Amino acid sequence: MQTAFLSPAQKEQARHGGRLFPIKKYITRLTDLHPSVPAHWHDEAELTLITEGQCTYHIHLDTFHAEKGDLLFVPPAELHSIIMQDGSDMASETYVFHMDYLGASAADLCAVKYLAPITRHTLILPCIIHPGHPVYSRLLAVFQDINRIYEDTPPGYELLLKSALLAAVASLIPYQEENAARPQLENEHTEKLKLALEYIGEHYGEEITIAQLAKLCYFSEYHFMRFFKKYTGVSCLEYIKNLRLENAAAMLAKGGQSILEISLSCGFSNLSYFYREFRKKYGMTPKNFAKNMPESEAVSQSPYPGTV
């Protein structure tokens, strides 16, 4: 089956796999050129193995240090981002799958007791599993089974993948949080951050001010800036600039528009500033990028916002 090598984008827009088979594998690579996956969320869950380097994951409102060998589970609709640590390139393999594929919407005990609560965030599984964790060896073996089935597609592979993913989720059940109910303030903060990210994603081509975003969240500007950086790992202005640059890179790789048109449509009113920041991020001018970067390797808007 096909594995995607894609790039970061702000918010989930694509379907992972088909409607009847909602699972897809992605390869993530973070380097000095592309050091982060912006904060985003989607309806599917994720199961990830870090294969190289180390990074910082922000999941919900928590921060996790992850390094080679670690496994991570991100539940559906959970806000998350990844930032490469200085001097350490990072790579990972991720399976993105819809919980309905496992039967979360079925009318049976497994759905009612486990799968639906995971989707609703009332049953909270551990997000990161280090090699010293009691379930690590079992979960790693399951992940390797998923890899083998996904790549080899033996007869009945769809059932085998479902079985392996259920085994992965089941292995984490004994280690669920004792008190799964999240404080109301946490949920409110998550929703406010999602609201701000959605607004940025919809309006990045326009002028966006901190005052506008703070007002959306009912925060002061000072509180909003501290809040945004705490839970995404980057400043709000840096996030907006990176999103604009990544969308500009996608448009340059696609072709058909002038550099001036692209810079303006991505929110850069000053062409000199656009050139300077683009070169700083991608190591080349927009013109050279458009000439040398095939569309398939573009580092911008993609169907899956968690990969490079």
Phi, psi for residue 200 in degrees, rounded to 5: -60, -45
pLDDT exceeds 80 at position 112: yes
**Is 304 part of any domain?**
no
Report how many helices (DSSP H) and strands (DSSP E) the chain contains, helices first.
12, 10
CA-based angle 40:93:159, to the nearest 5? 100
- β-partners of residue 81 are 58
Does residue 190 share a domain with residue 158?
A: no
Contact 175, 135 (CB under 8 A): yes
**pLDDT at residue 300 greater than cutoff 70:** no
Q: How far is CA 104 from the centre of its chain?
A: 22
Same domain, 20 and 152: yes
Give yes or no: residues 34 and 168 share one domain: yes
State the pLDDT at residue 294.
53
Are 221 and 165 contained in the same domain? no
Question: Would you state the pLDDT for residue 10?
Answer: 38
Q: How far apart (Å, rounded) are the C-alpha atoms in residues 296 and 24?
A: 17
Domain count, the chain: 2
Q: Do 47 and 73 touch, CB atoms closer than 8 A?
A: yes
Residue 250 lies in a domain: yes
Query: Same structural domain for residues 191 and 90?
Result: no
Last residue of a domain, one of 137, 158, 175: 175
Are residue 260 and residue 120 in the same domain, yes or no? no
Whether 94 is in a domain gets the answer yes
Q: For position 262, what pLDDT does the model report?
A: 95
The percentage of the chain sitting over the pLDDT mark of 70, rounded to a whole number, equals 87
Question: pLDDT digit string (tens) for 179-232?
Answer: 556 677 777 888 898 899 999 999 999 999 999 999 999 999 999 999 998 888
Three-state SS annotation for 209-230: CHHHHHHHHCCCHHHHHHHHHH
8 A C-beta contact, residue 278 and residue 287: no
Does residue 114 belong to any structural domain of this protein? yes
User: Among residues 175, 195, 224, which one ends one of the domains?
Assistant: 175
Q: Are residues 17 and 99 in the same domain?
A: yes
Is residue 306 situated within a structural domain? no
For 32, the domain range is 3-175
Tell the burial category of 104 from Cβ atoms under 10 Å away from its Cβ (0-12, 13-18, 19+).
Answer: buried
What is the C-alpha to C-alpha distance for residues 198 and 80, in angstroms, rounded to an integer?
14
> Measured between alpha carbons, how far is residue 90 from residues 5, 251, 291 in Å?
14, 26, 27
Residues 101 and 126 in one domain: yes
Longest dimension (CA), the chain: 61
Same domain membership, residue 149 and residue 17? yes
Which amino acid, residue 149?
I
Q: What is the mean pLDDT of the chain?
A: 87
Q: Kindly report, residue by residue over 10-43, the tens digit of the pLDDT.
A: 344 455 667 789 999 999 999 887 888 888 889 9
DSSP-assigned states of every residue in 182-198: PPHHHHHHHHHHHHHHH
Give the chain's end-to-end CA distance (angstroms, integer). 19
Looking at residue 15, its pLDDT comes to: 52
Residues 149, 53, single domain; the answer is yes
Which domain-ending residue is among 129, 153, 175?
175
Report the CATH number that the domain containing residue 7 is assigned in CATH: 2.60.120.280
Together in a domain, 261 and 162 = no
- Look up the CATH number of the domain holding residue 237: 1.10.10.60
What is residue 182's predicted lDDT score, i.e. its pLDDT?
A: 66
Report residue 295's pLDDT band, with 50, 70 and 90 as the boundaries: very low
Do residue 17 and residue 159 come from a single domain? yes
